[in-house]
Amino acid sequence: MQTVPDNSAPNPQGPEKLPADSGPPELIPPPLQASKSSGLGLWLRDLLVSAIASVLIITFLYQPVRVEGTSMLPRLEDRDRLFINKFVYHISAIERGDVVVFHYPRDPEKSYIKRVIALPGDRLKIDHGVVWLNGEKLAENYVPEEFRDTRSIPAMIVPTGTFYMMGDHRSISSDSREFGPVERSLIYGKAVFIYWPARDAGVVH
């Protein structure tokens, strides 16, 4: 149990006498200079923390990239700007339908963006533009009818550790039908969000 001073206790020496000119206690406001300096310091601290957090997020999680070309029409247009997630495939598996960024197998200095069509071990065949996966016709609502082509690829098993990539604009896309399945080590990001131009902004599906 704690005790605190009781200011209401009577004074044994009688009431305290105040000087004749005594008035209400004067309230002295805190110095404005110190208050403003403190507020500015907090603002600068928050700004610095936000800047560091942004750099870390962009460096380790997201990277802005620019699309060059039209092989991923209609969703991705030439010169669209988007964020790719560079960390997601460290904690989750690559899935069919993901739009990914990878180093071009024939020139690792270049990067391509394509859609994952088949995973390691999948049985794949393309018959006059129709993709057959593990014996079933693949539903591809991301490929408009006018963007399809009539190319065929003999039946194959996607090799271990590789992924079969194709562009959504099938009639003009340079993809795994030309350079073969892509090694897992070449894939470094998943396209997640278009941020520019504003009319195209949104999640990449």
pLDDT in tens, 65-123: 999 999 999 999 999 999 999 999 999 999 999 999 999 999 999 999 999 999 999 99
| Cβ–Cβ < 8 Å for 176, 188 | no
Length of the chain, in residues: 205
SS3 27: coil
Query: Closest Cα to residue 152, out of 170, 122, 125?
Result: 125
How many whole angstroms separate alpha carbon 119 and alpha carbon 133?
10
71 tagged catalytic: yes
Place of tokens 């110095």: 31
Amino acid at 163: F
pLDDT-based confidence at residue 53 (cuts at 50, 70, 90): confident
What percent of the chain is modeled with pLDDT above 70?
80
DSSP state for residue 67 in the 8-state scheme: -
Active site residue 114: yes
Pick the CATH number of 64-203 from 3.50.30.30, 2.10.109.10, 2.60.120.10, 1.20.1440.60: 2.10.109.10
Q: Tell whether the torsion through CA atoms of 151, 101, 164 and 176 is positive or negative.
A: positive
Token pair belonging to 21: 């000119």
pLDDT band at 171 (very low <50, low <70, confident <90, very high): very high
Residue 193, SS3 per DSSP: strand
Instruction: Tell me the domain boundaries of the chain.
Output: 64-203
Catalytic residue among 50, 54, 114, 185: 114
- The DSSP bridge pattern shows strands 153-157 and 123-127 to be antiparallel
| Confidence at 14, pLDDT banded by 50, 70, 90 | very low
